[in-house]
Amino acid sequence: MISAFVNCFKIPELRDKILLTLFLLFIARVGANIPLPGLDPTPLQDFFEAQSRAGGGGLLGLYNMFTGGALLRGALFALGIMPYISASIVFQLLTAVVPSLARLQQEGEVGRQKLTQYTRYATLIICLVQAVLLILTLENPTRLFPDYDIARYGDIILVSHSWFMITSVIFLTTGTMLLMWIGEQITSRGIGNGISILITVGILADLPAAFALTYQLFTAPVGETAQLGLGEGILMLLFLFLVIAGVIMVTQATRKIPVQYAKRVVGRKVFGGQSSYLPLKVNYSGVMPIIFASAIMMFFTTILSQLGAALQANWLRDSGLLFQRGTMTYYLFFGLLIFAFSYFWVSVMFKPVQIADDLKKYGGYVPGVRPGEPTARYLDFTMTRLTLAGAAFLTGIALLPDMVLYSTGVPYQAAQFFGGTGLLIIVGVLLDFLRQIETYLLQRHYDGFLKKGRIKGRSQGRTRQLVDTVGLEQGKTLWRWLIIMFASGMLAWGLNAYLF
């Protein structure tokens, strides 16, 4: 594994891509630590810390995680890359229901460029709206957080509100557009998906504080905070490794549908007659159901609480308390929402009829299943069963941080690395990042990170199929991925601790 890292810098093209990616990520982290002029982030940080100790945080904690802590620092990149993610999701869903956008998506590179341009315009609009709402919230935090006590925590904005509104909206919007440009540059000129890497680095930036808070549980005097012994610490570490291993396996798990192509004679040449497979992912919807479910639960709780306070209706306020984190009602509805959004995402994104038509068009068929509509029904039935398993997995992963939080007393900032949205994003992005490096290494005839997961025939120069995802199930390969993930986390820890 160490030799693979060394080999990365022996290939000039790969070395330049890695250095460019690191430089752009450094710029993103600098912007996430420069506060807006006229803003004091200390009151907001104190309030969020108090909420986290009580097991709260909610949507604010989720959004702050995606921004890499920039939101609570009141930084130039406080909006993060989430406006661009929101615009991309909206247009991805609209392409399934709006015929004109669907035609653009099918027009090839020209159509995709137009959709990308529309997404950028939508990102600018979302940035302006979110920046204004964020500044209004900072001016009077009790609008969104009824528990915020100005006399206790203090004012967040220290200058003229009108001037602060104008300048901060410009800074926040420009920061998000700069992050969008950085992400596109990483995608086109660096390594990996730039937007996903920005989110991952932002999540890993919380590792220093998470380790520090957890370390206090072992060193703090008795009676001041929760205590953990050496045995409990070892068990927690082993449990963390098992959770990451399970997330990796389920993330990479696929159901291979065999596909046979019939022979076709064109002139004097014979095409087809080969066997292949159609990979259907167990966790097809990724992390999106957890994000949607968390946002809806937080929105529902906030609305009930604010309505109860405004109308002086205790029953509405009590209803909002039933859906707060830590209650059985919250976990029940949270799990149901994850299942519902998992099936919704698959129904929108997975097109069994289109896949069946494409197979029939190119002479392919599933053995034992007639082409056309029977194939579409078979694929829909198979994906429905896979989605059930994937949704159950997502529900368990989403609830794990709360289980660790309430059973061990570990701070929420550390418990979130035991599962949830952050862990799913980290695993998926790092696997894709390392897979791309593996591709470059094998194309230049270097040994990559995987040695037993490689498809036979590579020694004869067959590099068009480079990595077999089934190889990740092997023990040694899996632990190599785990070690690489922790090494990446320690790198982010060191950069954040010594530079900022």
Render pLDDT for 337-386 as a digit per residue (tens, 0 to 9): 899 989 988 888 888 888 888 888 888 888 888 888 889 999 999 999 99
Task: Report strand pairing: 364-365 vs 269-271.
Answer: unpaired
Sort strands 269-271 and 254-261 into parallel, antiparallel or unpaired: unpaired
With 0-12 / 13-18 / 19 or more C-beta atoms within 10 angstroms meaning exposed / middle / buried, residue 81 is buried
Name the one residue in this structure whose structure tokens are 């072992």: 218
Q: Please give the pLDDT value at position 486.
A: 53
Would you identify the CATH topology of the domain 1-205+461-500? Answer: Preprotein translocase SecY subunit (1.10.3370)
For the chain, give the percent of residues with pLDDT over 70: 73
The token pair that represents 183 in the structure block? 């992400």
Q: How far apart are CA 192 and CA 21, in angstroms?
A: 9
Kind of pairing, strands 254-261 and 264-266? unpaired
- Would you tell me how many other CB atoms lie within 10 Å of the CB of residue 267? 5
Q: In this structure, what are the phi and psi dihedrals at residue 255, rounded to the nearest 5 degrees?
A: -100, 115
How does DSSP classify residue 280?
E
For range 71-76, the mean pLDDT: 83
Q: Show Cβ contacts of residue 46 under 8 Å, excluding neighbours closer than 6 positions.
A: 153
Task: Summarize the confidence of residues 29-37 as an average pLDDT.
Answer: 88
Query: Does residue 302 register a pLDDT over 70?
Result: no
Q: In sequence order, which residues have a C-beta less than 8 Å from that of residue 76 and are 6 or more positions away?
A: 31, 32, 34, 35, 36, 70, 171, 172, 174, 175
Name the least confident of 33-37, 370-374, 429-433: 429-433
The two three-digit tokens of residue 8, written as one number: 């990365």
> Comparing 70 with 124, which gets the higher pLDDT?
124
pLDDT classification of 308: cutoffs 50, 70, 90: low
- Cα separation, 291 vs 89, whole angstroms: 12
pLDDT of residue 451: 52
pLDDT band at 214 (very low <50, low <70, confident <90, very high): confident
Domain ranges of the chain: 1-205+461-500
Q: What CA–CA distance (Å, rounded) separates 114 from 109?
A: 9
Predicted pLDDT at 125: 92
pLDDT at residue 174 greater than cutoff 80: yes
Query: In angstroms, rounded to a whole number, what is the distance separating the alpha carbons of residues 446 and 7?
Result: 7
* Calpha distance 25→385 (Å, rounded): 39
Fill in the amino acid letter for 367: P
Output the six-digit token pair for 385.
Answer: 């069963």
Single-letter residue type at 345 = W
The string over 106-130, giving b where at least 16 C-beta atoms fall within 10 Å of a residue's C-beta and e elsewhere, is eeeeeeeeebeebbeebbbebbbeb
207-216, 251-260, 273-282: which is most confident: 251-260
Percentage of the chain lying above the pLDDT 90 cut: 8
Neighbouring residues of 394: CB distance < 8 A, sequence distance ≥ 6: 283, 285, 287, 289, 290, 338, 342, 424
Residue 271 to residue 263: CA distance in whole angstroms: 6
| Model confidence pLDDT, tens digit, residues 392-430 | 988 888 888 877 777 776 767 777 777 777 888 888 888
Least confident of 62-71, 90-99, 153-162: 62-71
Q: What is the largest CA-CA distance in the chain?
A: 86
Our measurement of the distance from residue 431's CA atom to the centroid of its chain's CA atoms, rounded to an integer in Å, reads: 13
41-50, 188-197, 376-385: least confidently modelled range: 41-50
Contacts of 428 (CB under 8 A, 6+ apart): 196, 251, 286, 287
